[in-house]
Structure 1
Amino acid sequence: MSTGEQPVTGPAPARRSMSLATRIATGAALLVPLLVLGTGALLLGLVTHDLRSQQDTRLRDRAAAVLPATRALLSATRQDRPRVEQNQRRNLLDDALDVGIRVADANGDRITEGGPVPGPAAVLPQPAPTSPGVLVTVRAQGRAWRVLARPVTGADPGTLWVTAPVSATNPQVDAVRGRILWAAVLAAPTSGLLAYALARRATAPLSRLGRRAAALDPRAGAGGFTHRRSGIREVDELALALESALARYDHQVARTGQALETARSFSAAASHELRTPLMSLQTNLDVLDAHPDLPAADRADILSDLRDDHRRLLDLLTALRTLARGDLVEEEAFAVIDPAEPAAAAVAELRRRRPEVTVDTTGPGLTGADVGGLRVHGWEAGLRIVCDNLLANAAVHGHRPGEPARIALGLRREAGQAVLTVDDDGPGIPAQDRAAVFDRFHRGRNSPGSGLGLTLVAQQVALHRGTVTVTESPGGTGCRVEVRLPLVGQDAPTLPLPARRDWIRATGAGR
């Protein structure tokens, strides 16, 4: 037998857990008897106190009843009248009924004793002459006694003790104790069964919810999970949490799929659009390699073409990356912002890069009071993309032959919208071609761009729930691009993003 192989063992069996109903029933079966015993202990103490109070009251009543006979007995004893003394002793014991009596004279000599009294060794209390009586518990020979010591005043003073064994109340206390124990014993199974039945009924909606969740098809997502209100708040809250979790799961799955599709589309678009400039680069490099003695003028032309192709490659890759970024932007990136800020930053950047271009920002909105209070629910980077590309497009295409571009930028409030306008003095765009300028990779004749600048503008405007249109410039020549974005309150940025964004895959701005 080989010892080199280890036995293959499966996963350890899951330990069976206790159901919630069983836990509740077990807890009730343990807790209710404890509560019964605790309540019984309190009740037993109250009963014992009440019985002792009743016994003390009975001792006081008996002392008051036998007090006249006690005085007569003490007087007859002092006068040495045996017959009267005998009659008074009999009257005293008859009046005492069910309690013990002991009488002593002023010298402490015992005169008479009868009924249940402590033994001779018991030390009985000695009341003060002016005391109304003293009640104490005395223990003697293993027994407890309740003793009332009362002074007898008058011509023949003495002391009267009225006694009763404490055990006289024990049968009633024992009866109460027994009933409490029986109640605790019966409460355990009864409370357990009742608690189990109630818990099973209360947790039935939770069990049904668990079965529905276990049977849920992962491909169905949130749409395959339906819950009808059970009337139990905790169960309904749990169902709502499950629905929310499934909805977030569906959203993340959709976003992951969209991201993968965007990456595929990015690769496809890049490979398709980069083929021509890369082939041109290869051709020019081959010419330079094959003709090392090429004339300087021809060599300079080829190098210029290489630089143009290189710039076009960089512009195309940057535009595709920005387009993919817009397709994947999350709603958390949006906030309440002032559109004048990205517009001013874009103007400053254009002036730095192309100082020959004239940009007029003296119109309403950017320098006047109208700009105050403009708030849109926007992505600051996205609005900067809009402004940069509109200004760059106007700088490249919106000028007269041989002259630098002149651009007018405006920002105003109109009918609950922020209106951004970019005007140029170029040849303009024919009406039949204005919609196509937002298509992906649409380039005009001899355009040096990637064909994605205005596509990026249309994408960002759509993300911001706005509109973008191309019209004639108010001066009669040139082109105006107008962007309208909805305004929101400072504390109410509630506009959601479009559910589907596929600008890097599809063509056309009218989605």
Structure 2
Amino acid sequence: MRLSTRIGLAVGVTVPLLVLASGWLLLRLVGNDLHRAEDDHLRARATAVAPAARALLRASAGGRAKAADTRERQLFSAALDVGVRVVGPDATFSGGPQPDVSVPLPARRAAVPVTVRDGGTSWRALAEPLTTVRGSGTLWVFAPNAADQAQLRLVRRRVLVTALLAAPLSGLLAWGIATGATGPLRRLRSRTAGLDPRTSTARLHHEPTGVTEVDDLAATLQKALARYDEQAARTAEALDTARSFSVAAAHELRTPLMSMGTNVDILAAHPHLPEPDRTEVLTDLRHEHARLLGLLVMLRELGRGDLVEVEALGTVDLADVADAAAAEARRRAPDDRITVDAAPGLTVHGWEPGLRLLLDNLLANALAHGRDPDGRADVTVGLRSADGQAVITVDDRGAGVPAAERDRIFERFRRGPGSSGSGLGLTLVAQQTALHQGRVTVTDGPDGGGARFEVRLPRAGGELPEHRDWLIATARTNRSQSFPKDSS
């Protein structure tokens, strides 16, 4: 059922009910007004005939029949349009329109009119007590309700006729108004009926109609289509990531797996292999196993960085993170020197596990590539504030990074000469820097030797970047490049 039809039916049913309810209230009010007017008239007539009624009672009590007849005529003349009945100790005098004498009258109540029914006729009656020196009695004044009842019946008929006419007329009027009001909805439906995000790139173009509900609905549809497009784009990117990841992972995992397979074949084919050769094969197996495990761990961490939500961000004390990362690095390399020079109270709004991952990988890179000719590593971690940013520096005393390679070392699976790592450590550093809206650069060390990795992070924030799929971003960078040759 159309909305306009629903509105028309609802109004067509509601309006007659409202008319009937209003008519009932009107009947009550009109009836009360008519009764009030009649009661005021009865009181006025009772006041006017009361002296004549008292004189009639006195004449009747004194046995003066002629005087009583005269007083009775005077009483009926003064009554005019109402009926009167004088009830005395010895006699009752009545005249004018009134109920039959057989109709019982209610107990008298001074100045309070009551309704008396005589068959199908009703009367308004007012009792007035009479007191004379010769006795007491009651004066009753009556007025028929016929005119009042006729007026009430007329009002009732008009209310019913109005309700009967209001039903179709109000329904048609409401249907017409609703049809016009829902016109923008029909036009919006016709514009959206042909939109299919799966087969067409056409989208809803809506001009404001001035109808708030229609404009809000159009805005909601546009937002839903935009979200569909965004989700479709992210799905396509996810598929691109999956393809790129599968190719890259297959390439990177193939070499250690083939090497491990070769060593296993050697052990299986030569069960009596000399001990030195056997030891060399097992050492190579352990090395490839560690490399494979490290690669899987790095890929897992890279995926975690792409799944961070805003709720995970908070205030992070960089000094605490740097101390913890340095302590772990000292545990793994007890013979090397690792120094932390941190300004106290330096905090950023970020993801603490990601910042720890960033520092862990910078230290691991420095320990792997920053050794002096004697094979010792001297690494310094610096934390300071500059231009509203938190600056993290990691200095080593190694051979440094050639200028031509400084922009490429953050690509995934990019390993330096002689490196046995996964090629994802610095990729994780770049990912976490981008996640925190920062910037990472590589320069020469402070004394001209070695390398300095510098990360600048904004100290206030909390918004994640719109594009966080690091695997996708680096896949696009590397798609046109061949994979680096394995160094093993």
Question: Which of 477, 482, 497 pairs up with 2:466?
Answer: 497
8 Å contact kept, 1:471–1:481: yes
Deviation at 1:58, TM superposition (A): 0.9
Q: Which residue of 2 aligns with 1:4?
A: none
Residues 77, 108 of structure 1: alpha-carbon distance in 2 compared, 3 angstrom cutoff? closer
Residues 104, 334 of structure 1: alpha-carbon distance in 2 compared, 3 angstrom cutoff? closer
Residues 75, 280 of structure 1: alpha-carbon distance in 2 compared, 3 angstrom cutoff? closer
Output aligned runs, 1:174-253, within 5 Å.
Answer: 174-219=153-198, 224-253=203-232
Output aligned runs, 1:470-489, within 5 Å.
Answer: 470-488=442-460
Question: Which of 19, 25, 35 pairs up with 1:52?
Answer: 35
Question: Which of 444, 453, 461 pairs up with 2:416?
Answer: 444
- 2:161 maps to amino acid: W
Deviation at 1:469, TM superposition (A): 0.5
- 2:28 maps to amino acid: G
Q: Which residue of 2 aligns with 1:346?
A: 325
Q: Distance in 2 between matches of 1:21 and 1:101?
A: 63
8 Å contact kept, 1:102–1:162: yes
Output aligned runs, 1:25-174, within 5 Å.
Answer: 25-105=8-88, 107-110=89-92, 112-125=93-106, 127=108, 131=110, 133-156=111-134, 157-174=136-153
Deviation at 1:333, TM superposition (A): 5.8
Q: Distance in 2 between matches of 1:481 and 1:62?
A: 115
% same residue: 51
Deviation at 1:325, TM superposition (A): 4.3
Q: Distance in 1 between matches of 2:205 and 2:377?
A: 61
Output aligned runs, 1:344-493, within 5 Å.
Answer: 344-361=323-340, 363-365=341-343, 368=344, 370-371=345-346, 374-376=347-349, 378-488=350-460, 493=462
Q: Distance in 1 between matches of 2:25 and 2:451?
A: 95
Deviation at 1:85, TM superposition (A): 3.3
> Which residues of structure 1 form unaligned runs of 5+?
1-17
Q: Distance in 2 between matches of 1:145 and 1:417?
A: 99
Deviation at 1:61, TM superposition (A): 1.0
Deviation at 1:180, TM superposition (A): 0.6
Residues 348, 253 of structure 1: alpha-carbon distance in 2 compared, 3 angstrom cutoff? farther
SS at match of 2:115: strand
Deviation at 1:266, TM superposition (A): 1.4
Q: Distance in 1 between matches of 2:359 and 2:311?
A: 18
8 Å contact kept, 2:325–2:360: yes
Q: Which residue of 1 aligns with 2:276?
A: 297
Deviation at 1:304, TM superposition (A): 2.5
- 2:79 maps to amino acid: A
Deviation at 1:99, TM superposition (A): 1.1
Q: Which residue of 2 aligns with 1:259?
A: 238
SS at match of 2:132: coil
- 1:249 maps to amino acid: Y
TM-score norm. by structure 1 comes to 0.85
- 1:144 maps to amino acid: S
Q: Which residue of 2 aligns with 1:3?
A: none
SS at match of 1:375: strand
Deviations 1:336-385 (A, max 9, x none): 23152543432233233332332212x133xx2x42xx222x33333232
TM-score norm. by structure 2 comes to 0.89
Deviation at 1:108, TM superposition (A): 4.7
Deviations 1:291-343 (A, max 9, x none): 555443333333323322222222233333433444x4254464123152543
Deviation at 1:185, TM superposition (A): 0.6
- 2:91 maps to amino acid: D
Q: Distance in 1 between matches of 2:403 and 2:37?
A: 112
> Which residues of structure 2 form unaligned runs of 5+?
479-488
- 1:148 maps to amino acid: L
Deviation at 1:43, TM superposition (A): 0.8
Over the aligned positions, Cα root-mean-square deviation in angstroms equals 2.6
- 1:29 maps to amino acid: G
SS at match of 1:507: helix
- 1:138 maps to amino acid: V
